[in-house]
Amino acid sequence: MTVFITGASRGIGRCLVEEFARLGHSVGFCWLNSDSKAYELIDSLKKEGCSVVGFKADVSNKEQLCAAIAEAEKKLGAIDLLINNAGIAQSKLFTDITNEDWDRMFDINVKGVFNAIQAVLPSMLNRKSGKIINISSMWGVVGASTEVHYSASKAAVIGLTKALAKELGPSGIAVNCIAPGVIDTDINAFLTESDIDDIIESTPLGKIGTPKDIARLAVFLSGDSFITGQIITADGGFTL
């Protein structure tokens, strides 16, 4: 299987690349920041004998992203699985959110998903097969105070997933969504130790998640199944 993952130099994206590559799949990925981490990831996986290629690209820039995906297909073959992981977050009072904050959030978190799917879809439709996994957030399901623009963008990804699953199902293409809870990654670095303690106390499983938890769920969704249009919330029970 050939996999393409967006936003994969660190955190959940990096773990997704490692998980699929070590399972023997060919993996292409893109990143925007953290060049050194991205190149280190490529080098380390190639030393393990994995088939992996990486490209620097801004998912909100359709030309850049399409070029990256086209080059990945040239080197690895047609994309069988797309994982839209690239995303940004920001904590701000609603009254302090600027037009630039709002636009950037939706450019990355929603337009980036749109751009990536449009890039891989013609080939999937031609082959009448393929899988798409979008990474949203539990805050896209229930909303988060002081993260209105983030929550709204992740809710949009959920709506996109459900609608696209209905549209692409007859063509043999499954579209699903993972909505992670609080995961131990850099994107949650703004949370204080007290914040983390409060979240853990409110989580039935009594812990926060790891990138590996999300990667393993993505591997499950990548297999043959009767599942499409689903939003799977991996949050330790926080939103129950």
Tell me, yes or no, if 39 is annotated catalytic: no
Q: How buried is 229 (Cβ within 10 angstroms: 0-12 exposed, 13-18 middle, 19+ buried)? A: middle
Closest listed residue to residue 61, CA positions, set 125, 24, 111, 128:
111
List the structure tokens of 42. 């490529």
Cα separation of 152 and 133, whole Å? 19
3-state secondary structure 87-142: CCCCCCCHHHCCHHHHHHHHHHHHHHHHHHHHHHHHHHHHHCCEEEEEECCHHHHH
Catalytic residue among 29, 139, 150, 238: 150
- Active site (catalytic) residues: 150
